[in-house]
Chain A
Amino acid sequence: GNSVTQMEGPVTLSEEAFLTINCTYTATGYPSLFWYVQYPGEGLQLLLKATKADDKGSNKGFEATYRKETTSFHLEKGSVQVSDSAVYFCAFDTGANSKLTFGKGITLSVRP
């Protein structure tokens, strides 16, 4: 069945460190891929998306590339800030009933 696998957390980094959060998916067809971010006490916000193979989504210094051959959509940022501390969710949509399949989420803490 459809699923998203995210690397285990939590992740703690120092400010200005490089960030990679791994995400792989299992889906039929050609899903659209998303990264959502949830800041403390808030709802989820769309961070970036990619709708077809080799597309790169980017926002706020974060990037992720749709890799169809490895069914992956890893999130990267070159230099994290304390304000990036949040929970990050990988998700995909196959278009069926507009349903999103989410990963378990990973908590990122950035130390000053």
Chain B
Amino acid sequence: DTAVSQTPKYLVTQMGNDKSIKCEQNLGHDTMYWYKQDSKKFLKIMFSYNNKELIINETVPNRFSPKSPDKAHLNLHINSLELGDSAVYFCASSLAGVGEQYFGPGTRLTVT
């Protein structure tokens, strides 16, 4: 019973392509997040949705567009991929107002 799942686990693509990462949680949480982790393990929040509504939008290029079709799903679409987008992207979920977040296994994106 995977709590927070992401697909794909690995994604290798060329510069300029468009790609999507999907996330699903079965914990009944109402808030979901996307994080980017760089090669030095630094973790940066990108977006957060609460009940399908965007509540956190950090300084992220417009090429990144999140979409939440329902409370259990949060997808991340990336246009015109660049070398600097190479990283591990983590999805997480929580209950609003409760700090504890549950993380997915990550998607390692490599842009060549």
A positions within 8 Å CB-CB of B: 31-32, 34, 36, 38, 42-46, 49, 87, 89, 91-93, 95, 97-100, 102, 104-105, 107
Contacts and interface: CB of A to CB of B under 8 A. Distances in A.
Nearest to A99: B56
Contacts, number: 61
A3 B35 CA distance: 17
Contacts of A92: 99
Contacts of A42: 105-106
B48 interface: yes
Nearest to A92: B99
Contacts of A93: 99
A43 B45 contact: no
Q: A-side binding surface: helix, strand, loop or mixed?
A: strand
A95 B98 CA distance: 7
A14 B59 CA distance: 41
B97 A43 contact: no
A43 B2 CA distance: 12
B105 A43 contact: yes
Nearest to B108: A41
A97 B104 CA distance: 20
Contacts of A89: 43
Nearest to B105: A43
Contacts of B97: 95, 98
Contacts of B102: 46
A43 B99 contact: no
Contact of B31 (A38, A44, A98, A104): A98
A99 B101 CA distance: 9
5 contacts: A36-B103, A43-B103, A44-B101, A102-B43, A107-B41
A105 B41 contact: yes
